[in-house]
Amino acid sequence: MAEMIFEWKHHRFCNGVDAQAAGEALERIREEEGAIAPAVVVQRAKGAAHPLHPCFEWDDATAAYEHRLHQARGVVKSLVVVRKDGPFKEKTTLYFNVKKEEEREGHYQRFDVVRDRPDEWKLVLADFRQRLQSAQRSVAELESLSYRSCPETTAKVLEITKQLDSALEMAGSL
């Protein structure tokens, strides 16, 4: 296999770890184990000399707190409100994440409040566009794989790509 060049897609987990070193470490795990299981990655990275060690929080108290923050985000994002004022019951997201790009952690706010705050509304729309771009990148990855391995899905994936391109163009005008 040709030499692989690794780069970070998102820097939020890397903590200064070189992408090439991280990729090579993950490849060693995949070769030895047959696949990459998160539990194995954590186990191997426990040693301070392992290239992936800095990617993790090793202080148990801090890690437990970070896990609870993750759970709290899940609780807030999972809650919907059911509107019964129309002919159909409609489930609607109540809280939206409002986060400035330079912030590590934003806050959640009700939609009706965000809607009336132009600065927060812009942040919610920017997050929406970012999510569409992320979906577009995922579909592009799938598209490149489908050409090689599943030609029968290529037409559908290409249609999804066109629809996402259209959605991003529309989102840009919001």
pLDDT of residue 22: 93
Q: CA–CA separation, 75 vs 72, rounded Å?
A: 5
Burial group, residue 128, by CB count within 10 angstroms (0-12, 13-18, 19+): middle
pLDDT of 12: 65
Q: What does the block give as tokens for 52?
A: 């992936």
pLDDT digits (tens, 9 = 90+) for 115-156: 899 999 988 888 888 888 888 888 888 777 766 667 677 778
8 Å CB contact between 20 and 6 = yes
Q: Is the pLDDT of residue 173 over 70?
A: yes
Delimit the domains of the chain by residue range: 94-172
Q: Torsion over CA of 35, 40, 46 and 49, rounded to 10 degrees?
A: -20
DSSP collapsed to 3 states, the chain: CCCCCCCCCCCCCCCCCCHHHHHHHHHHHHHHHCCCCHHHHHHHHCCCCCCCHHHCCCCHHHHHHHHHHHHHHHHHHHCEEEECCCCCCEEEECEEEECCCCCCCCEEEEHHHHHCCHHHHHHHHHHHHHHHHHHHHHHHHHHHHHHHHCHHHHHHHHHHHHHHHHHHHHHHCC
Closest alpha carbon to 58 in 48, 69, 72, 50: 48
Mean pLDDT across 66-81: 87
